[in-house]
Chains A and B, each alone.
Chain A
Amino acid sequence: MMFDKEYSFRGKHAEYVVKLTAEYDDKHHKLFNTNYDVYAIAPIIGFLYQRKAELDKTGDATKIFPDKLIKEQQNLLFNYRLIMLLDEKHEADFNERINKAFRYYGQDKSAPDEELYENYVRGGVEILYEKLIESARSSEDYLTNLYDFIEEFDERYNESVTTESIVDLCQLAKN
């Protein structure tokens, strides 16, 4: 089980997360409120941008406490299931992907899946850092970068997906 114990970002990823959650102006504005907020989004970004990153063991760590993770377990498990269902490179057989998403989580045999998930988390952190922080020179730049990133993301992934189409799919699933 991954989402019931303390989580640590380490090495450069810890550094990136610290920067993503830092105040960027004198009005106490932050792009991400907490480490958890980065952790909740990063695997999605990592998967969609197809970026995986190995654990960087050098340097300091920054943590998310277990009570927060336990509280948010449902959300995190949702991410996990999405990735497991969709990563065809990791597992080509759809039935097996369903098993990974809905059956194996928490069992010993899910270790490589959980490893994959963590790699996407770290890859996502890297993408977020590159998109939002790296090029920022003034406090104005952070918000602009955020907007540009969302705009880019919208063009790339969300333009074709409407809420209605998802709701329709859900209806289809319920019948």
Chain B
Amino acid sequence: MLLKSLKLKDFRQFKGEQEITFSTDPVRNVTVILGENGSGKTTLAQAFTWCLYGDTDCDDKSMLCKVTGQTMLPGNEEKVRVELALQHNNIDYLCIREQLYSKDNSGSIRRHNQTTFKIAYKNADGQREYVPDGETELRMKEILPKELSKYFFFDGERIGNMSKEIRKGKSAEFAQAVRSLLGLSAFQSALEHLGGRNSVIKMYNESYDTKSDSKMAQYTKEIEEYEEKLQAIEERLAAIDDEEAIATDKKAELEEEIRLNKDSEVLARERDELVRKIKELVAKKASSEDSLLKVFNNNAHSYFAKKMMSDALSQLAAADKIDTGIPYIHAKTIEFLIKRKKCICGADIEFGNEAYKELNDLLEYIPPQSIGTSIGQFVRECELRCKSSDTLFEDISTKFGFIREFDNTYTGYQNQINIIREKLEKMKNVGELQARLSTYERALRNLSVERRELDRNQALLERDKERRETERKELSLKDENNRKIEVYKAYAQYMYTTLLSLYREKENETRQQLEQTVNEIFKSIYNGGFSLSIDEKYNIQVIVNEFEGINEDVETSTAQSISVIFAFIAGVIKMARQSQNPENEMLVSEPYPLVMDAPLSAFDKARIRTVCDALPNVAEQVIIFIKDTDSELAETYMGDKVGSRFEFDKKNEFETNLVTR
């Protein structure tokens, strides 16, 4: 398939009629279309898929140019049309898709029904003919199946998903499409013709003369039933393969995540331990504070009074006031002496003389007026009090020291908790991951149980079917007519078996060749110590060859994804071109163009060079959309391959013109 030109009419921001002609030169086979982000690269890429398959990835489902829509008068109709001229199998086709829009009286734009799709081609006489309406879809499938188209019309944004799909060999359809690209479809048609549904062998099976023999009819019916059951089992087994692949992938992903986050469990335990310690600490601190305050409230009075007690006692002692009482002398004794005016010692006691004063003072210190008793009591009190508060300051200091230490320890714990919390915030909940992992593990177990069950049933059914077939064979030999059928069928069966083994051989060979080709290209683009392998279902696996290059970061892994897809597409296209060679007539295929929104910026310069070198060589035709910023690079590395150049001239958000550069 070669793309010749694309004509747009009022398709999104491409107002009016605009046309772009692609280079079909075998050497200068590159068409470069330059445009900034948002200028229409993606839209133009989508114009291809809309034209061929009627759908786009746009959120806005209206294809009509907004500017055209605005200038329409109520009641007017406008058609959006995309025409893609292409050559396939040496026939020139023109694929035309149209969508009718009209403006109603309220001024809103209305879309009419479905799009119309026509394929025109030139017949042998050079006359234009149309593929009948009912067959357009089918013809399109022949030209380029939709499931394959996305590998030829693709944009950089989808690349991540695509490489995943390719690696998982998404569907049987995909493998089928690859086979047909690689020219294996002729083989397959032959095999299908001989041995598939509605095949030669089946026809023979159905053409046994069963009227003569009711057993024959019964066996045939039973065999058909077995076949149906076996078919169902095979389908289910294939589905189980897919489900298992998904679950296994998920399981590995989760296990990796759990491994990365398993530290979080340890951290969480540490945190809980710290929280417990903190609680303990808070309680200890509170009780220390309790006891400090208790000591204070009980003994503070005596403690604060100590100095005063000491001062008072000193003064009392110095003034000799403490020990001034005279034992067994009562006030009455003194009063008697004063009245007698003569002391015991014989001295005279005159009113106002020395002795009189002395005796009168003495009255204050002997019973009943004595304050000596009160002073004595006061002294005893001092003694008791000072003893009770003896250790107060030490006690309080010690307890306060503990409390201070608690505070420090507390702050320490709190800091540790904060550090752990920060770490944990960045981690995922392992419990949750574990739960999800268990779900997948359970699913895998169930699938494996189901598979064993199906395998057993399959074996049983095969055995029963074979037994019936043998019995039918024996019966058929008894009937002349049926015997003939049996012989024909044996021929068909033989051809089928032979062809199948040949096909398998060829396919194996082709696949190995593809693997080799893809790897060659992959290595030229991506020199990271990886290689690719392709299995029977055309799943691509990335294999690490060496230990170096394992520590790839995310950015290079994007580059890796892109490299995988480039290598795969380039590999398939290269193979398809090779299989065109006439000496390999059994395997015939078409070359395909590569239309891409190239994310050159995802690569480093060295890789841009290899990509630019590789693509025009492997693909028959390259139509590449690039950013202005990448244009210099592309010109430098691909300049001599460029056959035509276009540029987006963006007038405003809703209007872009395509101009030749």
The residues of A with any CB-CB pair to B shorter than 8 Å are 27, 29-33, 37, 40-41, 44-45, 47-48, 74-75, 78-79, 81-83, 85-86, 94-95, 98-99, 101-103, 140, 143, 146-147, 150-151, 153-154, 157-158, 161, 163, 165-167, 169-170, 172-175
Contacts and interface: CB of A to CB of B under 8 A. Distances in A.
B379 A173 contact: yes
B400 A143 contact: yes
Interface residues of B, number: 48
B643 to A, nearest CB: 80
Contacts of B319: 94-95, 98
B401 to A, nearest CB: 9
Interface in B228-253: none
Among A74, A75, A81, A170, residue most surrounded by chain B Cβ atoms (within 10 Å): A170
Given A146-B296, A169-B382, 14 more contacts: A27-B289, A31-B296, A41-B304, A78-B381, A82-B305, A85-B312, A94-B319, A102-B375, A103-B371, A147-B397, A161-B307, A169-B317, A174-B379, A175-B323
A170 B382 contact: yes
A173 B314 contact: no
Nearest to A150: B396
Contact of A172 (B304, B309, B322): B322
Interface in B389-420: 390, 393, 396-397, 400, 403, 407
Task: State the 4 A-B residue pairs at the shortest beta-carbon distance, nearest first.
Answer: A173-B322, A169-B313, A157-B307, A102-B371
Contact of B301 (A40, A158, A174): A40
A117 B617 CA distance: 112
A103 B404 CA distance: 48
Interface of B: 286, 289-290, 292-293, 296-297, 300-301, 303-317, 319, 321-323, 371, 374-376, 378-383, 385-387, 390, 393, 396-397, 400, 403, 407
A48 B305 CA distance: 9
A27 B308 contact: no
Contacts of A147: 396-397, 400
A152 to B, nearest CB: 11
B307 to A, nearest CB: 4
Given A172-B322, A173-B379, A165 B310 contact: yes
A163 B390 contact: yes
Contact of A157 (B306, B371, B396): B306
A79 to B, nearest CB: 7
B303 A158 contact: yes
A157 B302 CA distance: 13
A48 B308 contact: yes
Nearest to B303: A158
A160 B312 CA distance: 15
Contacts of B301: 40-41, 44, 75
B289 A143 contact: yes
A85 B315 contact: yes
The B interface is mostly helix, strand or loop, or mixed, namely helix
Contacts of B323: 173, 175
A125 to B, nearest CB: 14
Contact of B317 (A74, A83, A102, A173): A173
Contacts of A99: 371
B376 A173 contact: yes
9 contacts: A37-B297, A81-B378, A82-B309, A94-B319, A98-B316, A103-B371, A146-B296, A150-B296, A151-B393
B642 to A, nearest CB: 76
Given A27-B286, A166-B309, A153 B304 contact: yes
Given A41-B300, A143-B292, A170-B382, A158 B306 contact: yes
B289 A166 contact: no
Contacts of B315: 85-86, 94
Contacts of A158: 303, 306-307, 393
Nearest to B379: A173
Contacts of A101: 378
Nearest to B322: A173
A172 B375 CA distance: 13
A29 B375 CA distance: 39
Among A40, A95, A143, residue most surrounded by chain B Cβ atoms (within 10 Å): A143
A172 B323 CA distance: 9
A172 B317 contact: yes
Contacts of A102: 371, 374-375, 378
Contacts of B378: 78, 81, 101-102
Nearest to A103: B371
B302 to A, nearest CB: 9
Given A27-B289, A167-B387, A33 B297 contact: yes
A29 B393 contact: no
Contacts of A95: 319
A167 B386 contact: yes
Contacts of B305: 44, 78-79, 82
Nearest to B403: A143
A166 B297 contact: no
B293 A30 contact: yes
Given A30-B293, A150-B393, A158-B303, A86 B312 contact: yes
B371 A98 contact: yes
